[in-house]
Amino acid sequence: FEKIPMKTPLVEMDGDEMTRVIWQLIKDMLLAPYIDLNLEYYDLGLPHRDETGDQVTIASANATKKYGVAVKCATITPNAQRMDEYKLHEMWKSPNGTIRAILDGTVFRAPILVKGIVPYIPTWEKPITIARHAFGDIYKNTETIVPAGSKAEIVVTKPDGSEERQTVHEFKESGGVFQGQFNVDESIESFARSCFNFALDTRQDIWFSTKDTISKKYDHRFKDIFQEIFDAEYAKKFTEAGIEYFYTLIDDAVARVVRSQGGFIWACKNYDGDVMSDMVATAFGSLGMMTSVLVAPDGTCEYEAAHGTVTRHYYKHLKGEETSTNSVATLFAWTGALRKRGQLDGNDRLVDFAGKLERATIDTIEGGVMTGDLAAMSTLPEIRKVNTQDFLIAIKEKLEALL
Ligand code: NAD
């Protein structure tokens, strides 16, 4: 087998714990033997983030901007317990948050479907991709607890110094809670463009939903921006691609999604996307089968698994015990990134390889060989539950046959 060359470097962001173990296995067993890997490596493992004062995370995001495609391993977001465990200098911020802030992207999460793993909603025959607007709203809110007898107001100071003042509530007998939130047109516009571009890229319809009947200014603004950008920049391209953009109230969207067959993208505001992506992931089955891609408005893409570092399995692994960790989402992060890199570089062999590796993975599971999380859910008559490494060996056998 003549190794596949790579023209432009792919940005590689290494990570933590069990996913870091899997990362190395995937590279050694399923990539390096077939591809002359051209990678720009950034170690986002927590010890190295700490050593570099988190500068490595920023550098990796900037490299992604430069080259256009990255693949990322799951990483620890430190909390108090991790401060002790890793003797950290600081409680570093979530790398995903830092990268997203630099790339200004939208996260698209989609399940990988296989025969034998039936979604809780059996009509879902095709994946449902959730696009979450990961900026603003309650995630950047200002809130306070209000004592009885207070008056809460909203004040906007305009550029000319004038004030627009509205009473939100007079707290007479009872105290309560009060919250201010915001979003900015620029971010909503980026979100809209990322969504429309991704829909064109993947040739899927896109739905967008908010609560604009209740929120007549805030949510309505989202709806208007989407429509204006769609009409001005995308309507024609969508017609040519044979796909649709469709706006509906979130209540209606929920009902339609549940009754649908899948096969579309559902764009959600920040909070809706947070909740709905967990709901959709659970309904499709395993976190180990959810992929995630961050798409910037300029088309830059960062691929990853939607799950975390699978800490429980890692501690078992450290004790020398056998693990059966699902590597599918991490593997599909690699194939997604390699396919995209191949498409941008006009590298057909790389694109073809990505497809074959995905095929080999799906065939392995559909052939009854799978990790513990899937074995617990599969409806196939004959199942062989395998450990982390043997699962990759089984995929490699299928891959060799396809190549
Ligand atoms: P997790 O996704 O690692 O695990 C959640 C649950 O799902 C666990 O029960 C786990 O066993 C199971 N699970 C997840 N992926 C699996 C797989 N591939 N195979 C088998 N089972 C799987 O999330 P968590 O436990 O909440 O967090 C662990 C660490 O991961 C934390 O330090 C957190 O900061 C980090 N995290 C990182 C990301 C990211 O980098 N994108 C996302 C979420 C969590």
* Ligand 1 contact, 325 CB (< 6 A): yes
Q: Return the structure tokens found at 117.
A: 């793993």
DSSP 246-283: EEEEHHHHHHHHHHS---EEEEE-HHHHHHHHHHHHHH
Q: How far does the centroid of ligand 1 lie from the alpha carbon of residue 94, in Å? A: 14
From atom 32 of ligand 1, which residue's Cα is the shortest distance away? 76
| Helix, coil or strand: residue 88 | coil
* Ligand 1 contact, 310 CB (< 6 A): yes
Nearest Cα to Cα of residue 70 among 31, 50, 99: 99
| Helix, coil or strand: residue 397 | helix
From atom 8 of ligand 1, which residue's Cα is the shortest distance away? 310
b/e code 58-82 from CB counts within 10 Å (16+ = b): bebbebbeebbbbbbbbbbbbeeeb
Q: How far does the centroid of ligand 1 lie from the alpha carbon of residue 276, in Å? A: 18
Q: 310, 311, 371: which to mutate for ligand 1, most atoms within 8 A of CB?
A: 310
- The 10s digit of each residue's pLDDT in 115-152 is 998 888 989 999 999 999 988 898 888 999 999 999 99
Q: How far does the centroid of ligand 1 lie from the alpha carbon of residue 169, in Å? A: 41
pLDDT at 284: 87
Q: How far does the centroid of ligand 1 lie from the alpha carbon of residue 307, in Å? A: 5
DSSP 192-231: HHHHHHHHHHHT-EEEEEE-TTT-TTHHHHHHHHHHHHII
* Ligand 1 contact, 76 CB (< 6 A): yes
| Helix, coil or strand: residue 137 | helix
Q: Each residue's pLDDT tens digit in the chain (403 positions)?
A: 899 999 999 999 999 999 999 999 999 999 999 999 999 999 999 999 999 999 999 999 999 999 999 999 999 999 999 999 999 999 999 999 899 889 888 999 999 999 998 888 989 999 999 999 988 898 888 999 999 999 999 999 999 999 999 999 999 999 999 999 999 999 999 999 999 999 998 999 999 999 999 999 999 999 999 999 999 999 999 999 999 999 999 999 999 999 999 999 999 999 999 889 888 988 888 889 999 999 988 889 999 999 999 999 999 999 999 999 999 999 999 999 999 999 999 999 999 999 999 999 999 999 999 999 999 989 999 999 999 999 999 999 999 999 9
> How many residues in the chain?
403
Q: What is the number of other CB atoms lying within 10 angstroms of the CB of residue 199?
A: 26
- The 10s digit of each residue's pLDDT in 224-251 is 999 999 999 999 999 999 999 999 999 9
What is the rounded distance in angstroms from the CA atom of residue 116 to the CA atom of residue 231?
41
The amino acid that residue 65 corresponds to is K
Residues contacting 351, CB < 8 A, separation 6+:
338, 339, 342, 343
What is the rounded distance in angstroms from the CA atom of residue 238 to the CA atom of residue 168?
42
Q: How far does the centroid of ligand 1 lie from the alpha carbon of residue 287, in Å? A: 8
Q: How far does the centroid of ligand 1 lie from the alpha carbon of residue 311, in Å? A: 7
From atom 24 of ligand 1, which residue's Cα is the shortest distance away? 308
pLDDT at 347: 98
